[in-house]
Structure 1
Amino acid sequence: MECGPLKRVFSVSSLVAAGLWSAVVPINAQVNVTQYHNHSSRDGLYIDGAFTQSAATNLTRDLNFDGTIIGNVYTQPLYIEGGPSGPMIIAVTESNNVYALDAVNGSIIWQRNVGAPVPANDLNCTITGSMGIIGTPVVDLASRALFLDAMVTPDGGATIKHYIISLNVDTGAINSGWPVDVE
């Protein structure tokens, strides 16, 4: 079963929503979204006091935002107020691509591919073309580290591995001591 167009619509919609949300929040607000649903209970309830009904009525689509990325997105984009050049969005794809986008205009700050994703034919249960990063990463702002799980085939398809990877939030460089093979 192929869901390609729906996934692309969802990923673009998520990035547009993140871009719109960044336009509503005051410049000095601390609104970092560093994990799934923005808190450890993961219940989906996140309340931002600046996002009121009156603020929502003034939302408009920013036609200058162009957050074009390659790959299907199955995760929640993350938002970091204090990126290397201002607010940024972190988006990851099933193709094992990790992107840091400028939250204002969508331009790519940095990007990294963390390894070849596993083709669907090599897996027993998947509805997608390949399996790479399908879980929302987490950011530790104190250490400026992004952590994620990626399914990779490091040797061209002979083996399948799960790697936990840590990247520098500001540069996309792989942090020392990573990745960790959890298979």
Structure 2
Amino acid sequence: EMNTRIQVEHPVTEMVTDIDLVKQQILIAAGERLEIEGETVPLRGHAVECRIVAENPETFAPSAGQVTWLHLPGGPGVRVDRAVYTESVIPPYYDSLIAKLITHGRDRQEAISRMVRALGMFIIDGVSTSIPVHERIMADADFRAGRFDTHFLARFSPNGRGANLL
């Protein structure tokens, strides 16, 4: 999907299409010709995105504070779009997004395996994060098999409602 504002999940689309959607929007705004031609764009592989947020992983309550240490994951098929750096202050009043972690693989299982590895490499000190919840989701047999619905996150929340994780 392309419209006047970029979607929060646009990195997943970029990973499976190999198209820079932000660049395409800039070309449109400049009156230039798009690099994309035709009605369909071939898809390649599978991508998974986790929103790493400053929240308590058990209660999903906001976790304001200062990021005292940040180590970002990397490697083949790993993308990190981050909003913070070491010494960033995450206030309690605004979006608690720390980063979007996106992995790509030849298939769903490879994308999930890369996500599991990337989550294990992602280190943030100073605030609580959603990383433990994402690790539990990635380990869930139903998620790994693609068997989930809009009520899926409720299983990972003590109050029966999901957070803004996926």
Flag the structure with higher strand content: 1
Higher relative contact order (Cα pairs below 8 Å, separated by 6+ residues): 2
Note whether the superposition's TM-score is higher than 0.5: no
- Give the TM-score normalised by structure 1: 0.27
- Give the TM-score normalised by structure 2: 0.29
Flag the structure with higher helix content: 2
